[in-house]
Amino acid sequence: MSAIVRAEERTIVEINGRSKESLFDRFLSAVAPRLYHNRQAHRTAAKIIRSYEATAKTRRTEGWVSAGSSANTASAGQLAFLRNLARDLYRNNGWAIRGADEIVNNTIGWGIQPRSKSAQHIALWKAWGGKTSCHAANKLTVYGIESLVLHTIVLSGECLIRRRTMPTRSGIPLRLEVLEPDCIDSTKNQDGPGLNRIFEGVEVNSLGEPVAYWLHKKHPGDSFLVQSERVSAEDVIHAFDVERPGQLRGPSWLAAAIVTLQDFDDYEDAVLMRQKIAACFAAFVTNLDGAGVGLDDSTDEFESLEPGAIVRLNPGDDVKFGTPPPVTDNDAFSKTALRRIAASLGVTYEGLTGDYSQVNFSSARMARLTHYGNVHHWRWNMMIPQVCERIWEWFEDAAIIAGKVAGQAEVSWTPPPMPMIEPDREGKAYRQAVRAGQMTHKEMIAEMGNDPETFFDEYKEGLDEIDKRGIVLDSDARKTTDAGQLQQEPMTKAPGGQEKNA
């Protein structure tokens, strides 16, 4: 055994003491010292190989509760409390408002829009989803519903959409009712029919697939006695960010930042109050003769200070000015706290605070790319598969029932693009990628948040109108160069072999 392991073993023995050794170990150490040391060295080596620092029972890990519960058991009974705290922060804490809005605005923007080769389906979608009649409350378009759903998920951890078969102006008998997770009857925890089980109002089969939801007929916050009813999962969209296998409910996204947000809010209030106290220029009057000036004295010449005031003191009175408390390290502490909040929410510090004083183009772009990694996850792993595609399926079913279309159509989704920090540089990069064959025109247009088919139709329509009117623009690449000069006409071969302009 190596000398390092033996030294480690001797250290352990010195620290722990011989009192913890077994009687056999003590006997072995006296009769066969070499065998005893080999035995202890093997034990120590095995301990070094198997152990993790975090698993050691030390003062650093004392009181650290790490239960091995499942995703559902870990959140049982706590989701309502978390979302109520998060909603209160959103009502009263500006940083919580900014963080939640940053997530929603960057992920949804003007809306995640469908693309399909079926012009009939897209026209019907625009007629239905582009109007507020698609919303059960007749307040939002389908893109406003997307924004509301994600906003609810950020604060409450999850959101529900219930399908309602109702007439609309477009002729599509479908309306979307957006519900808060409070409407799930969390008291339902029991075995369901067959092999089904119900956990906090979500009924799942043996594979963990939701088959039904137990929903209150009214929001529990509006009534004390609210009954629940079983609603098929076919008529309900239950959207949340799945973080663990088997997870059935979602906690508020503000959960990791709730305590920090509240403490930082208290800190800011305390600093503000200290500044207000410091701004009050206080003076204290003492009487050197010992007579003193009490509160009951009739003199009030020195009750307040005013600009340009002349104050006459009584004989023996002395004036001492108070020293206001200084405010130090506020900026450094605030930045540290806000960075922690931004990391908890998955946004950038600059996006949360609007402070871009310490960034340049490269650092700002790297921070934005890191944040948009989260944005892509929220879009493609949650909003699009759980919300957008399910709404499209409901829309197609309703359109077929209404006789508007004959069948289904394939669809893809185009989310808003990542905003450009410097359009000159980034636009040039797109152009070079297209010219080098690394990206198609359609890919570039889709990445910029537009529907390629619609874009090309509108682009051709605009060019045709320009040609019809005989207008030549320096932005028309068909006729002008980057410098605004007219393009030379291509040369062709004449019958005699000579080149001429086409």
pLDDT tens track for 280-333: 656 666 666 655 555 455 555 545 656 555 666 677 777 776 666 666 678 888
Q: Which of 10-14, 145-149, 253-257, 429-433 has the lowest mean pLDDT?
A: 10-14
Structure tokens at 302: 């020195």
Do 146 and 383 touch, CB atoms closer than 8 A? yes
Q: What is the mean pLDDT of residues 15-43?
A: 65
Q: Which residues contact 132 (CB under 8 A, 6 or more apart)?
A: 138, 139, 140, 141, 144
Sequence letter at residue 205:
N
**Is residue 9 pLDDT above 50, yes or no?**
no
Please tell me which residue, 24 or 407, carries the higher pLDDT value. 407
Residue 16 has pLDDT above 50, yes or no: no
Using the predicted structure, report yes or no on whether residue 11 has a pLDDT greater than 50.
no
Confidence (pLDDT) at 136: 96
- Across the range 64-72, mean pLDDT stands at 85
Residue 390, pLDDT above cutoff 90: yes
Q: What is the mean pLDDT of the chain?
A: 83
Mark 426-454 as b/e (b = at least 16 C-beta within 10 Å): eeeebeeeeeeeebeeeeebbebbbbbee
Q: Grade residue 44 by pLDDT with cuts at 50, 70 and 90.
A: low
Confidence of residue 48 (pLDDT cuts 50, 70, 90): low
CB 128 within 8 A of CB 174: yes
> Which of 29-43, 103-117, 212-226, 389-403 is least confident?
29-43
With H, G, I as helix, E, B as strand and everything else as coil, classify residue 159. strand
pLDDT score of 226: 75
- Label the pairing between strands 159-164 and 113-115: unpaired
Of residues 207, 358, 330, the one with CA closest to residue 268: 330
| Maximal C-alpha separation, the chain | 125
Residues 6+ apart with CB under 8 A from 17: none
Query: Is residue 42 over pLDDT 50?
Result: yes
User: Which of 35-49, 64-78, 396-410, 438-452 has the least mean pLDDT?
Assistant: 35-49
Query: What is the arithmetic mean of pLDDT over 4-33?
Result: 55
**Angle (CA) 101 107 111, round 5°:** 105
447: pLDDT strictly greater than 90: no
